[in-house]
Amino acid sequence: MTTQTPRLGAPYIITSQSQKEVTHNMALNILDAYTQAAAETSTLAIPPASPLEGGLWLVSSGGTGSWSGHDNELAQFIGGAWQFYLPFEGMTIWLKDENLVTRYFSGQWQKGRVMASRLDISGLQVVGAQQAAIGDATGGVTIDAEARTALNSLLAACRAHGLIAP
């Protein structure tokens, strides 16, 4: 029988278990850390001297003290002690000090990286799929015609990307 949830590792309450409230409260603490996660910073390798109750930190590489062996994990100060949570693929947290989103992808945290197939602002596409490369203008006897052709190709690509209106 499974004793915890597969992704967050929150403990299940077992039928014959005593002190079910302890298990339930542990599961609530895990949810508190993972749900709408907002970490104070990701730049500390040593625990802060006076952590806020319920505060969450993303442990930097080279963690020391209570954080030793917990690099890239979430550290939550709760109930007067540190609890650590492993990140999972696709997990997203807000870094308060940098005003950035960071996402756990392919075994590492990626700060400020946005992945999308297109970007819309106010319902209008402003960035789309990358267009084919535009070759440099070469040769010819009338420089102005070449410049115009290159410029028009550049404008067409910008329109296709939604960077300028059609």
pTM of the model: 0.69
pLDDT in tens, 43-90: 999 999 999 999 999 999 999 999 999 999 999 999 899 999 999 999
d(CA 74, CA 32): 12
Phi, psi of 157 (to 5 degrees): -65, -40
Which secondary-structure segment (H or E) carries 8?
none
pLDDT in tens, 87-145: 999 999 999 999 999 999 999 999 998 888 888 889 988 888 777 777 666 666 767 77
d(CA 92, CA 104): 6
